[in-house]
Amino acid sequence: MKKQLSGIVAGCIAFCAIGAFGQIVTFNSPAAWVTQRNDSITVRVQIDTAQIKKKEFALSVDLVSEGAKKKNLAKKTFKVTDYTAEFAMGPVSQNLVGGLSYIKIDWSIPGTTNKGSISPIGIVALDKLPVQPPSVVVHAKDGADAAAIAGFVKDGDFKTVGSAKYALAWNKDALYIVLVKTQAPGTIRFSIDGKNGKNAFLSFADRVVMVATDKDSVWGNHYSWQLVGDTLKYTEKPWPNEMTKSAVGGKVVVRVPWYDSGIIPIPDRRFGLGVMEFDAAGVQKAALPASAKFYLPGTWSDVVLGK
């Protein structure tokens, strides 16, 4: 019994030592997939000081663009005085990082092979980005059918994105997207952020209405994401929905029930919306606002439901 017990204890000691070695540094902040609201990088960590003989700790902050291009933004070496610490890297002069790009923080112990990293981290510094007034979605009559909606929107309600022209309307039942028919190949994507979180990364909660007007087809997607090596990967997932489309003369009316979007419709309700035109090869060609990026909700516009 003693022999068996001593074997268990010895095994536990070996396992714990390996586990402790693997956790020299534990990040308290920032966390992966977080969206920072300013460009100042402050790293909060817990450190196993017993394994740092020289009591030095190095940090490096890099901008990784589309999985290939890396740019160092800050690099510092600090003295370690306690098992918990806060290291200020300072501002990195990046007010908007997200979508297919991200911030990566690497740590290392000088004079050793011990190192690690945390990523992806996004930045959407709202107070430093251009302020854009929200677009107003016109309020249609409750119970209106597709023909009534198409007739309700006026020429002045239409906006242009690349080769596409669209207008929005709403009532208590649905959000309506009215498009002028076109034979341009590709898709028009209406990306809806119901929580209006202004996040750095397209999330599973966001909804995308996909319209291929040259093929007269409409479908819905949402997205999962993961970090593969140094590359952010977004994977399309079917969005179960009860959207319908109707052709009315030279227009297409897409009806998006509110219960599909997760938005409760009341006057003055605000949410995020990005409208992008993609070509047949899946390359973004135009957007509204013009600087909007499909995978970066922080660049989308605000829309508000009119009274």
Q: What tens digit of pLDDT does each residue of 123-162 get?
A: 999 999 988 899 999 999 999 999 999 999 999 999 999 9
pLDDT digits (tens, 9 = 90+) for 165-210: 999 999 999 999 999 998 889 999 999 999 999 999 999 999 999 9
What does the domain layout of the chain look like in residue ranges? 27-127, 135-305
Give me the architecture of the 27-127 domain, per CATH. Answer: Sandwich (2.60)
For the chain, the first-to-last Cα distance in angstroms comes to 79
Averaged pLDDT of the chain:
91
Q: How far apart are CA 144 and CA 150, in angstroms?
A: 10
Q: What is the pLDDT of residues 80-123, one digit of tens each?
A: 989 999 999 999 999 999 999 999 999 999 999 999 999 999 99
Count of beta carbons in the 10 Å neighbourhood of residue 44: 13
pTM for this predicted structure: 0.88
Q: Which residues of 90-120 are buried (b: 16+ CB within 10 A; e: fewer)?
A: eebebbbbbbbbbbbbbbbbeeeebeeebbb
- CATH number 3.30.70.980 given to 135-305: no
Residue 7: the pLDDT is: 41
